[in-house]
Structures are given as structure tokens and as C-alpha cells.
Amino acid sequence: MSIVQSAILNICSNFRLPAEPCVLCGSMSHHGVWCEACDAALPYLAGSHCPVCAKPAPNGEVCGHCLKDPPAFSHTVAVFAYSFPIDRLIQAMKYDEQIFLARMMAKKLAPLPDRSNLPDCLIAMPLHPARLKSRGFNQAQLIAKPLSKSLGIPLLNQACQRLRDTPSQTSLPYDQRGKNMRGAFGCDADFSGKHVALVDDVMTSGASMNALAKAALTKGAARVSAWVIARTT
Ligand SMILES: [Zn+2]
Ligand SMILES: [Zn+2]
């Protein structure tokens, strides 16, 4: 390729997206809401991890915890480790309704799920109606919507509900989180034989995901996957 051709290609690729200030460093970004340099420094989930819960595990084998007490979901897809600056970006998305951040995060998650085993439908982790009313939006839904669109998988908005407005999981020790979530969700839809993917922003103890997956299995789901933007490691 000649120098002129590569210069033209360079200019064209720079014009693919309008330049905007990077949310992380403030320099002009053609890459999206954060620039390429900041993207390269993000805590992408690296190394081998448990295919079930996405916690670090040697050789990518199922971890001891999942072997001993398997969760109701059988697979987790996670983009990032929940650490700086992803934690800050997720907080911004959650409390300031930064839809553009949700779109960028969905864009990062979209290529990861196994194309030979895509789910039949997506469910965004439901918020309790009282919580939804006070927050005004559901951040899991903000992520699930563009995923549904780009992957062509239906997002079922009304299929599952949060029945109890449980105390915040973060206020509880890990061992009480499962108990806190018991019976927290209900699903109306019939998932018979379906592969269902549950979408959320962060997986910490996995207790909410487990409880929602149980509710989907109760309604006949054949397989439940967990799709999250970030995983605590
Ligand atoms: Zn940047
Ligand atoms: Zn595991």
C-alpha cells in the first residue's frame, strides 16, 4: 500500500466516529466515549478463569466453589475485572444514567459470547418497582437493550420481576447474600427448553444472578448464562 493510500485510510478510519473528549483522560477520542490509549489500559478480564462464575481459576477449570456448590447459571461472560476505572464508570452509569457508557459497555460485551451457543432471549436483571421509581431507569436494561439489538436476540422486558426490595447486597457479608436473595425474583414467562442469558452490570457474590437463574429454571429454562460487564476478582 502506498503512503498516500495508507494516509487516506487513516483519515477515513479517524472519521468513522465523530471525535469526542475521552471520559477518562479528556483527550479527543475517535474510538468512542473513551480513547484507544485508555481502552488499552482498562482492566479487561485476563488470564484463565472459571467458565461458570468467571473467578480466576488455574487452567480455566471449574473452580472449587462452583464444583462444591454449583450456581443455577452454567456459564458467565464478563468483560472486565471490577476495578479502577471500570468501577467509576459503572457507578457513573448507575447513578447518572450515562446511557452512552452503557452502549459502550454493551459494545465490549457483544463479541464475547460463543456464537455457536447464543441464547434464545435476554433478561435484564430486574430492579424492584420502588427502586426503579426512585432511580428512574434500570442500568441492566440500558446494557441489555443495545446487546439485544446488535445480536438480534429478543430482550424480554416483562418476563421476570424482583418481588422483594431486598437490602443492598453490598451492606451484607458474602455468606448472607444468598439468604437475602431467596425468593427475590419471579418469572411469568415460559422458558421451556430455552437458553436464557441474564444481563447485569456487575457480578459480586453472584447471589442475585443465582436467584434470578433459579427463577428462570423454575420456568423450564434449559440453560441459563450470566452476562456481566464486570466481575469482582
Ligand atoms: Zn483517554
Ligand atoms: Zn467458579
CATH for 51 = 3.40.50
In the reported structure, the alpha carbon of residue 109 is separated from the centroid of ligand 1 by a whole-number distance in angstroms of: 20
- Kindly state whether residues 115 and 200 are assigned to the same domain: yes
In the reported structure, the alpha carbon of residue 43 is separated from the centroid of ligand 1 by a whole-number distance in angstroms of: 14
Q: pLDDT (tens digit, 9 = 90+) per residue, 63-82?
A: 999 999 999 999 999 999 99
Nearest 10 degrees: Cα torsion 12, 14, 16, 22: 180
In the reported structure, the alpha carbon of residue 87 is separated from the centroid of ligand 2 by a whole-number distance in angstroms of: 22
User: Residue 105 has which C-alpha cell?
Assistant: 459497555
Q: How many CB atoms lie within 10 A of CB 159?
A: 22
Strand partners, 76: 226
- Kindly state whether residues 207 and 151 are assigned to the same domain: yes
Q: What is the mean pLDDT of the chain?
A: 90
> Is pLDDT above 50 for 48?
yes
Confidence of residue 156 (pLDDT cuts 50, 70, 90): very high
- Kindly state whether residues 141 and 74 are assigned to the same domain: yes
Phi, psi of 218 (to 5 degrees): -60, -30
- Kindly state whether residues 101 and 16 are assigned to the same domain: no
Q: pLDDT (tens digit, 9 = 90+) per residue, 13-39?
A: 444 567 899 999 999 999 889 999 999
Full-model pTM: 0.89
In the reported structure, the alpha carbon of residue 54 is separated from the centroid of ligand 2 by a whole-number distance in angstroms of: 6
Q: Among 9, 25, 41, give the residue marking a domain's end.
A: 41
Ligand found nearest the CA of 73: 2
The confidence score (pLDDT) of residue 19 equals 87
- Those residues with Cβ within 8 angstroms of residue 16's Cβ, 6 or more apart along the chain or in another chain: 30
In the reported structure, the alpha carbon of residue 55 is separated from the centroid of ligand 2 by a whole-number distance in angstroms of: 6
Question: CA angle, corner 74, sides to 68 and 80, nearest 5?
Answer: 100
Number of domains in the chain: 2
Task: Report the distance separating Cα 80 and Cα 147, nearest Å.
Answer: 16
In the reported structure, the alpha carbon of residue 162 is separated from the centroid of ligand 1 by a whole-number distance in angstroms of: 37
Ligand found nearest the CA of 56: 2
In the reported structure, the alpha carbon of residue 49 is separated from the centroid of ligand 1 by a whole-number distance in angstroms of: 28
The confidence score (pLDDT) of residue 233 equals 85
Task: Report the distance separating Cα 142 and Cα 166, nearest Å.
Answer: 22
In the reported structure, the alpha carbon of residue 9 is separated from the centroid of ligand 1 by a whole-number distance in angstroms of: 22
- Kindly state whether residues 52 and 164 are assigned to the same domain: yes
- Kindly state whether residues 74 and 157 are assigned to the same domain: yes
- Kindly state whether residues 160 and 104 are assigned to the same domain: yes
- Kindly state whether residues 12 and 99 are assigned to the same domain: no
In the reported structure, the alpha carbon of residue 196 is separated from the centroid of ligand 2 by a whole-number distance in angstroms of: 19
> Is pLDDT above 80 for 108?
yes
Residue 231: closest CA among 15, 53, 107: 53
DSSP string for 65-101: HHHHS--S--EEEEEEES-TTHHHHHHHHHHH--HHH
In the reported structure, the alpha carbon of residue 171 is separated from the centroid of ligand 2 by a whole-number distance in angstroms of: 23
User: Residue 196 has which C-alpha cell?
Assistant: 436464557
- Kindly state whether residues 130 and 197 are assigned to the same domain: yes
What would the mean pLDDT of 116-131 be, rounded to a whole number?
Answer: 95
Burial category of 49 from C-beta neighbours within 10 Å (exposed 0-12, middle 13-18, buried 19 and up): buried
Residue 76: closest CA among 68, 66, 84: 66
- Kindly state whether residues 18 and 81 are assigned to the same domain: no
- Kindly state whether residues 199 and 214 are assigned to the same domain: yes
* Structural domain boundaries enclosing 34: 1-41
> Is pLDDT above 80 for 177?
no
Residue 194: closest CA among 148, 149, 225: 225
The confidence score (pLDDT) of residue 5 equals 57
User: Residue 103 has which C-alpha cell?
Assistant: 452502549
Residue 213: closest CA among 120, 109, 123, 81: 123
User: Does residue 70 contact residue 52 with C-beta atoms inside 8 Å?
Assistant: yes
- Kindly state whether residues 35 and 82 are assigned to the same domain: no
In the reported structure, the alpha carbon of residue 84 is separated from the centroid of ligand 1 by a whole-number distance in angstroms of: 14
Task: Report the distance separating Cα 143 and Cα 181, nearest Å.
Answer: 22
